[in-house]
């Protein structure tokens, strides 16, 4: 059997089973310098048919081309890939879910370590913990844990990899009650920049860093263990839509929402989503009975609304799946629009921002502001995790979607101009999971006081800076 035929046969089988094949015969490569490790890893070059599939990430705007892709099927495969990169002085990018806004899960002319086939998940009834490999997708995690009536507090986008979400912090509908995703992280296994397999049970600093500070540059996480929580018996959402918007009306609606949110029960979540022609306010609730303070908020939000969706009550899994989002690659440019503590932080930004959104030729643009607080702020000590932004009550995100690669420059220009407005308004703190490659002081913006400690760990784990991207932790 020829090398290519054997390669194609193995890939076909792997695609069908999506699991490591320990018994597979040793695989020979045309390039004799590539490692030959049976059942643990295979390498792809740009000429291989599977290369395009493995190179593709969620953001079609990113067109980087790795020299090699190492598709890893086990911890040993990850170690082999990392050792190969070190021996050949190749920069390394790491892909699990591939959802990074700025495409940091790719590189040019380096080695891409692809973890997408490492997607095993396992729940332990004994201690109610949950183990996931980095390629596991959030939608699958929710569905799997729901059969045990358990969850981890996370977002809603089904295609996001659980590893990247957690390592940057992770927030969502349940975080005001249960904390960030990383707050439920109990243990990690990681391959460092020299190819050593580490376990956080032997290194508390490693676990601390992986709670919001490991942006894909400290090491390659191969396993995560979480504490799980009971699922709510129901999940309810409400929507309020406002049209015929003017600058004044937008400001009034923003001020009203911000004034109401301090009374929002911690079992609830809300987002304020403004586009060029419409404002949508979403409220979710994970309790059976609507609290009086929530009833008051809903009543006041209804004033002046063009359309109101009353209580849409579902069982937990169906409710969360309503917000699963798209899973197919698309063109977009999304970035953090900063953390805030109230309306005053963005009051002066909104009028000009709204005018700019209306004037843009790219009509699928929006700013989304999400509620934080609750357990994120008070449920965990400041030194429990590398994530530094617990005291903020709101998080903004600016998003632009488009259909053609020819519109990329317009999208990037719009986002850069919007970000300048927030910077000029004094917004300095940003969410690492919503990276913006244009941020000049990104280390302080993402990690604040945690950054020197992360640097010290980077020097130990990856002293040659093998795992890197434009905003990776510096040595």
**Residue 394 sits in a domain of what CATH number?**
3.40.462.20
In contact, 229 and 152? CB cutoff 8 Å: yes
Category of 170 on φ-ψ map: left (φ > 0), alpha (ψ -120 to 50) or beta = left
Give the up-direction half-sphere exposure of residue 99: CA atoms within 13 A in the CB hemisphere. 25
Same structural domain, 302 and 247: yes
Same structural domain, 333 and 292: yes
State the helix-helix crossing angle for 350-359 and 408-424, rounded to 10 degrees.
Answer: 170
Give the up-direction half-sphere exposure of residue 185: CA atoms within 13 A in the CB hemisphere. 39
Structure confidence at residue 19 (pLDDT) = 30
Same structural domain, 302 and 436: yes
From 114, 137, 168, give the residue that closes a domain. Answer: 114
Whether 56 is covered by a domain: the verdict is: yes
Taken in order 8, 159, 418, 168, the sign of the CA dihedral is negative
9-18: long-range contacts, CB 8 A cutoff, minimum separation 24? 10/42, 11/42, 11/50, 14/73, 14/117, 18/117, 18/119
Same structural domain, 413 and 315: yes
Condensed to tens digits (0 to 9), the pLDDT of residues 302-334 reads 999 999 999 999 999 999 999 999 889 999 999
CA dihedral 173, 151, 148, 234 (to 10 degrees): -10
Same structural domain, 154 and 143: yes
Same structural domain, 61 and 193: no
Residue 458 has pLDDT above 90, yes or no: yes
Same structural domain, 379 and 249: yes
pTM for the model stands at 0.91
Whether 97 is covered by a domain: the verdict is: yes
Q: Which domain holds residue 178?
A: 121-231+449-461
Condensed to tens digits (0 to 9), the pLDDT of residues 419-438 reads 999 999 999 999 999 999 99
> Into how many domains does the chain fold?
3
206-210: long-range contacts, CB 8 A cutoff, minimum separation 24? 206/457, 206/461, 208/383, 208/384, 208/385, 208/386, 209/386, 209/453, 209/454, 209/457, 210/166, 210/167, 210/182, 210/185, 210/386
Structure confidence at residue 231 (pLDDT) = 98
In contact, 358 and 185? CB cutoff 8 Å: no
Report which of 415, 395, 474, 467 is spatially closest to residue 442, judged by C-alpha positions.
474
Condensed to tens digits (0 to 9), the pLDDT of residues 109-132 reads 999 999 999 999 999 999 999 999
* Residue 124: Cβ within 10 Å count: 12
Whether 318 is covered by a domain: the verdict is: yes
């Amino acid at each position: 059997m020829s090398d290519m035929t054997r390669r194609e046969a193995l890939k076909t089988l792997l695609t069908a089973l999506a699991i490591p094949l320990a018994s597979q015969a040793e695989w020979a490569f045309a390039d004799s310098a590539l490692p030959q490790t049976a059942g643990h890893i295979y390498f792809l070059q740009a000429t291989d048919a599977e290369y395009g599939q493995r190179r593709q990430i969620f953001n079609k705007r990113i067109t980087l081309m790795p020299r090699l892709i190492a598709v890893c099927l086990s911890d040993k495969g990850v170690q082999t890939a990392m050792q190969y990169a070190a021996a050949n002085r190749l920069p390394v990018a790491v892909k699990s879910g591939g959802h990074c806004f700025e495409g940091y899960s790719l590189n040019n002319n380096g080695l891409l370590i692809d973890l997408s086939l490492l997607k095993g998940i396992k729940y332990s009834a004994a201690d109610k913990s949950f183990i996931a490999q980095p390629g596991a997708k959030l939608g699958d995690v929710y569905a799997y844990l729901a059969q045990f009536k358990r969850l981890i507090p996370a977002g809603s986008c089904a295609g996001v990899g659980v590893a990247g979400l957690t390592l940057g912090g992770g927030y969502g509908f349940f975080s005001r009650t249960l904390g960030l995703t990383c707050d439920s992280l109990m243990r990690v296994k990681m391959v460092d920049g020299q190819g050593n397999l580490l376990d956080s049970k032997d290194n508390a600093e490693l676990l601390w860093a992986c709670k919001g500070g490991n942006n894909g540059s400290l090491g390659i996480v191969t396993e995560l263990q979480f504490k799980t929580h009971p699922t709510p018996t129901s999940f309810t959402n409400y929507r309020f839509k406002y049209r015929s918007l003017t600058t004044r009306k937008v400001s009034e609606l923003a001020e009203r929402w911000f004034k109401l949110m301090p009374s929002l029960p911690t079992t609830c979540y809300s987002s304020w989503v403004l586009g060029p022609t419409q404002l949508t306010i979403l409220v979710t609730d994970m309790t059976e009975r609507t609290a009086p303070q929530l009833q008051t908020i809903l009543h006041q939000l209804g004033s002046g609304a063009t359309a109101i969706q009353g209580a849409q009550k579902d069982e937990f899994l169906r409710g969360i799946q309503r917000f699963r989002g798209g899973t197919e690659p698309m063109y977009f440019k999304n970035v953090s629009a900063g953390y805030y503590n109230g309306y005053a932080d963005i009051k002066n930004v909104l009028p000009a921002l709204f005018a700019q959104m209306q004037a843009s030729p790219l009509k699928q643009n929006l700013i989304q502001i999400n509620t934080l607080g609750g357990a994120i702020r008070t449920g965990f000590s400041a030194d429990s995790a590398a994530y530094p932004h617990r005291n903020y009550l709101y998080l903004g995100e600016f998003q632009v979607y488009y259909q053609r690669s020819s519109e990329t420059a317009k999208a990037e220009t719009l986002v850069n101009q919007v970000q300048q407005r927030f910077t000029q308004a004094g917004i300095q703190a940003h969410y690492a999971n919503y990276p913006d490659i244009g941020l000049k002081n990104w280390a302080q913006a993402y990690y604040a006081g945690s950054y020197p400690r992360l640097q010290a760990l980077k020097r130990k784990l990856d002293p040659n800076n093998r795992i890197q991207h434009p905003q990776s932790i510096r040595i």
